[in-house]
Amino acid sequence: MIILRKGGINVIYGYVRVSSRDQHTDRQMDAMSTYQIPEKNIFVDRQSGKDFERPAYRKMIRKLKKGDVLVVKSIDRLDIRVIDMPLLNTQEDENGITRVFIADLVLQILAYVAQTEREFIRERQKEGIASARARGVRFGRPERKIPDNFREICDQWEKVEISGREAARRLDVDLKTFKKWASLTADKG
C-alpha cells in the first residue's frame, strides 16, 4: 500500500553510489532510467559506504517523506536501520545483545554473501560493459593503421630477404601484428 503525501503526490527518488571516484555509475544510472526517475531526484555519491558522511545520501534522506519511493540498484548501495528489528540493520551495532547472540549465524551469512558478491561483481561488470557498448564505447587498444611502407617490407619478407622479426622491427610493431597485417593483405589479394 502506498501512502500518499499531503496533496496526494508521491515522489520517486533514486540513489546511486560507487565506492571511488574512478568507478562508473553507468550501470546504476541505466537501472534508474527504467523507473523514469527525474534527474533532479537521483542522488549520486562517489565514496565508500563505510559511514553516513556522504553528501548526496544526507541530502536525499532530508527530502524523503512518508509514501515516497526510493529506488536502488542493489541493497549494498544503501544503509538501513530498522528500529524494531535490529537484526535487519545494515549498520553495525557495537553494544547490541542481538549481535552477540547471532554471531555464528551472521558469519555463515557473510560467507554466503561473499560468495554471491563475487558473482554479483561479475554480473555488474558485464552490465557495465554492455551499458558502455550501447553508448558506443570501444574497449581495448585502438587498432593501428597499416603504415604506407608496409607493402614494400612485406614483399621483402615474402621473398625471404628479411625475417618476420626484422619486418616487424622496421614497421615498429610486434611480430604478431606484422603477421596479422600480412594475412589481411594476402586475403585481399
> Residue 153: how many CB atoms within 10 A of its CB?
21
Distance CA 137, CA 114 (A): 31
H helix and E strand count, the chain:
7, 3
Distance CA 17, CA 25 (A): 7
Specify the DSSP class assigned to residue 18. Answer: E
Q: Which of 172, 179, 173, 187 is nearest to 157 (CA)?
A: 179
Distance CA 76, CA 79 (A): 7
- Cell numbers 553510489: residue: 17
Distance CA 173, CA 42 (A): 47
Task: Estimate to the nearest angstrom the gap between the alpha carbon of 169 and the chain centroid.
Answer: 39
Residues with catalytic annotation? Answer: 19
Residues in the chain: 189
